[in-house]
Amino acid sequence: MSSANLNRVRSIYADWGRGDYSSAEWADPGIEYVIADGPTPGRWTGLAGMAEGHRSFLSAWEEWRPEPYEYRELDRERVLVLGNFSGRGKASGLEVGQMRARDRPCR
């Protein structure tokens, strides 16, 4: 049976999959939001900071979508989401995506 946290994370990703990034009710008010790489790396704190960082990130893309393929409940407080992301760079027009480890060719 799924826990409330697992259901909540699935709901968040379902919203994001439809392009709806408007809700942050799930986030702790003191959240630390980090984008480690890509067109807009940075670190933001708090709900307003997270919104600013995510807006900045999304502004570089067209049709950015998460594509989760597995949810793992690690414990009562943590859920790990494995998945792909896809989109098209606004400046370059290039399609991007990440392959799942199991889909990568062996060398």
CB 12 within 8 A of CB 38: no
3-state helix, strand, coil in the chain (%, to 5): 30, 35, 40
**pLDDT at 107 > cutoff 50:** no
CATH top class, domain 4-103? alpha beta
- Does pTM top 0.95 for this prediction? no
Amino acid letter, 94: L
Distance CA(27)–CA(9), nearest Å, equals 11
Band (105; pLDDT cuts 50, 70, 90)? very low
Domain ranges of the chain: 4-103
Distance CA(81)–CA(5), nearest Å, equals 12
What pLDDT is attached to residue 71? 96
